Amino acid sequence: MVNQEDQFKKVIAHAKEYGYVFQSSEIYDGLSAVYDYGQNGVELKNNIRNYWWKAMVQMHDNIVGIDAAIFMHPTTWKASGHVDAFNDPLIDNKDSKKRYRADVLIEDYCAKIEAKIDKEVEKATKRFGDAFDKEQFVTTNQRVVEYQTKIDTTLSRMAKSLEKEDLADVKALIEELEIADPLTGSRNWTDVKQFNLMFGTKLGASAENAMDLYLRPETAQGIFVNFLNVQKTGRMKIPFGIAQTGKAFRNEIVARQFIFRMREFEQMEMQFFIKPGTQGEWYDYWKATRLKWHKSLGLGEANYRFHDHEKLAHYADAACDIEFKFPFGFKELEGIHSRTDFDLSQHEKYSGKKLQYFDPEENTSYVPYVLETSIGLDRMFLAVFSNSLVEEELDNNTTRTVLKLPAVLAPTKAAVLPLVKKDGLPEIAKKIVDDLKWDFNVSYDEKDAVGRRYRRQDAAGTPFCITVDHDTLEDNSVTIRYRDTMEQKRVKIEELRDIIKQEVDVKTWLMKM
């Protein structure tokens, strides 16, 4: 059994080896929590973005997209509350001089107790076999109940203290739980302080006249300030949504989790403008719709769960995360937030411009409420990538490393391989590549024995290999090999396009929703 840490290390190493993700500026020893996407990574990322965009924009008559600038007028961030409230509670260890997020230290403490619960459940499953009733076990086993109570009381006290800005109590909690610096074991902590996560920059040629700007910490505000532009020019009727994908920047402190938590990352967000009072039903609708989107990719139903926020952000009246089982445990993948009329009202107040919707049926104007869905593209990338990487035992006692990416997202859909580098086989293989590349990303590979080429494509995540051999010269047929099952079929060259299309088409996958 590979432990979580080793599995995560494998994911990072594989991402580098196969051209998916590189450390940024690696030749200068890298830049912490900043990453570059390589030749395969950029394709996977584009495909995930496209899969989201099609589901959200193309498939909804009442959702349109925009692409707002990263730079925004600085008052935007005063209005949104980010200047005053976009903070993390930080604590320093006086001995190691390391800085941590106080809430993350406490959450990690609870995650360790949760791991103990999982162990108890695992032991009991083995002990009771088929007769095991997990629900009953976790609610009646004394040790598990004690563990769960400890988690619940700790998290709820932390949420209350953060809500009240009672940072002294957050520190007291860390001390009472005897939480130590994960690196050194020291318990010599400073007080907890708030730290703003926005990056500042300057706009203008001369230092005296330069204007202070922020790099946007979320894409959402670009949608809010364009609410009326889109509503009026698109003649949109409520309920309607505006979607956007793009970069966001946060000066993250806990930044040791590869592309899970980055300082420069990409978001895919949608703000859905609704009539006040209807937020409850739309909240349920978007929770269900977004979960279905995730499940359509087939990464395993049990790998998702909802987590209701205990501490609501300054703008929300309800909020939850869709959590995914990453190699380091269940963590937030996407947020669904009922943002009330907070943002539009704040922008009205700070800009002095009306941001209201005239409802022709009711003959009244109002500031719409907003339901937000917000997912990190890089986090989605990590979810897909880490879940797909498997080490498989084969019948002949060997193993193979295979990246079982959903075919719709795979960077290269098919690799075309001539069995040998002679007898006219490379020419036919290249002709197949030339024909298929109008529809799909395809590659050509003639180096090494065909078995090794299959393994290379398995590890790179290519769903199909197409082998051209001597029979091809006779009957125009080729072997198509399926990455996941390793099944091989003989098909005609002219059938290839339809076979591949059926498996990689966005429609086929989204229809599973």
* Per-residue contact flags (x/-) with ligand GAP for residues 149 to 178, judged by CB under 6 A: ------------------------------
Part of the chain binding ligand GAP (CB under 6 A), chosen from 144-152, 300-308, 326-334, 505-513: 326-334
Q: Which residues contact 315 (CB under 8 A, 6 or more apart)?
A: 80, 81, 337, 339, 340, 342, 343
379 binds ligand GAP (CB under 6 A): yes
Nearest one of 376, 379, 377, 375 to 260, comparing CA atoms: 379
Question: DSSP letter string over 214-227?
Answer: EB-S-SHHHHHTTH
Task: Output 144 or 382, the one with its CB closest to ligand GAP.
Answer: 382
Q: Which residues pair with 63 in a beta bridge?
A: 241
Task: Output 181 or 372, the one with its CB closest to ligand GAP.
Answer: 372
| N residues, the chain | 513
375 binds ligand GAP (CB under 6 A): yes
Task: Output 248 or 466, the one with its CB closest to ligand GAP.
Answer: 248
Question: Residue 86: how many CB atoms within 10 A of its CB?
Answer: 20
CB 18 within 8 A of CB 241: no
Q: How far is CA 327 from the centre of its chain?
A: 13
Residues 347-366 that bind ligand GAP (CB under 6 A): none
**Tally: H helices and E strands in the chain:** 18, 23
Question: Residue 58: how many CB atoms within 10 A of its CB?
Answer: 13
- Please identify which residue in 80, 154, 373, 374 interacts with ligand GAP, judged by CB under 6 A: 374
Question: Residue 439: how many CB atoms within 10 A of its CB?
Answer: 13
252 binds ligand GAP (CB under 6 A): yes
Least distance from ligand GAP to the Cβ atom of residue 284, Å: 19
267 binds ligand GAP (CB under 6 A): yes
Give Dmax (Cα) for the chain: 80
CA distances to 97, 98, 177, 189 from 94, in Å = 5, 8, 18, 6
- Please identify which residue in 250, 294, 325, 347 interacts with ligand GAP, judged by CB under 6 A: 250
* Per-residue contact flags (x/-) with ligand GAP for residues 278 to 307, judged by CB under 6 A: ------------------------------
- Please identify which residue in 335, 418, 426, 463 interacts with ligand GAP, judged by CB under 6 A: 335
Part of the chain binding ligand GAP (CB under 6 A), chosen from 168-176, 282-290, 328-336, 467-475: 328-336
332 binds ligand GAP (CB under 6 A): yes
216 binds ligand GAP (CB under 6 A): no
Q: Which residues contact 9 (CB under 8 A, 6 or more apart)?
A: none
269 binds ligand GAP (CB under 6 A): yes
Part of the chain binding ligand GAP (CB under 6 A), chosen from 260-268, 450-458, 467-475, 479-487: 260-268
| CA dist., res. 367 & res. 389, Å (int) | 47
Residues lying near ligand GAP in the complex (CB under 6 A): 218, 220, 250, 252, 261-262, 265, 267, 269, 332-335, 372, 374-376, 378-379
